[in-house]
Amino acid sequence: MSLLDATTEPCTMLDKTTVRDGYGGFTYRYVEGAGFDANFSLDTSTPARVAEKQGVKNLFTVTTKKSITLMHGDVFRRESDGKTFRVTSDGSDKKTPESATLNMRVVSAEEWSLPNGQDTGD
């Protein structure tokens, strides 16, 4: 077992959907979607710390297997602590080459809260 495999954490996609609002319109709601495993690394660089002091939430590097493509704006929850994250980069950009023995794809993500304190509706 590789170190990468040994440190993965279960996550759940939170899919944005619409529901009737009872007033003839609709509102957005996040519902649980597919599960996947990911590794998390807190960005402790100087620019990240400066951004944090200016109100930006914690920034993370998130590593998954190549078969998982997280796209900019995707939202997911880390099951170990219930924290929610929003992807801030494009998952199709950073992955290991097909010829590599490592099976990795990397995105940036920020800690994020669902709008208006919303839960996932479950």
Residue 62 lies in a domain: yes
Residue type, 54: Q
Residue 100 lies in a domain: yes
pLDDT band at residue 1 using 50, 70 and 90 as cut-offs: low
What's the domain count of the chain? 1
Taking Cα atoms as reference points, which of 23, 26, 61 lies closest to residue 40? 61
Query: Which spans in 7-84 are helix H?
Result: 46-53
Cα separation, 66 vs 38, whole angstroms: 11
Cβ pair 110, 56 in contact under 8 A: yes
Taking Cα atoms as reference points, which of 64, 55, 58 lies closest to residue 42? 58
Residue 89 lies in a domain: yes
Residue 122 lies in a domain: no
pLDDT, tens only, 55-105: 777 899 999 999 999 999 999 999 999 999 999 999 888 888 888 888 899
Q: What is the residue range of 105's domain?
A: 3-114
pLDDT, tens only, 5-64: 778 999 999 999 998 989 999 988 999 999 999 999 998 777 777 777 777 778 999 999
Residue 120 lies in a domain: no
**What CATH number does the domain containing 101 carry?**
2.40.10.270
Residue 121 lies in a domain: no
Neighbours of 3 (CB within 10 A): 7
Taking Cα atoms as reference points, which of 59, 46, 54, 63 lies closest to residue 86? 59
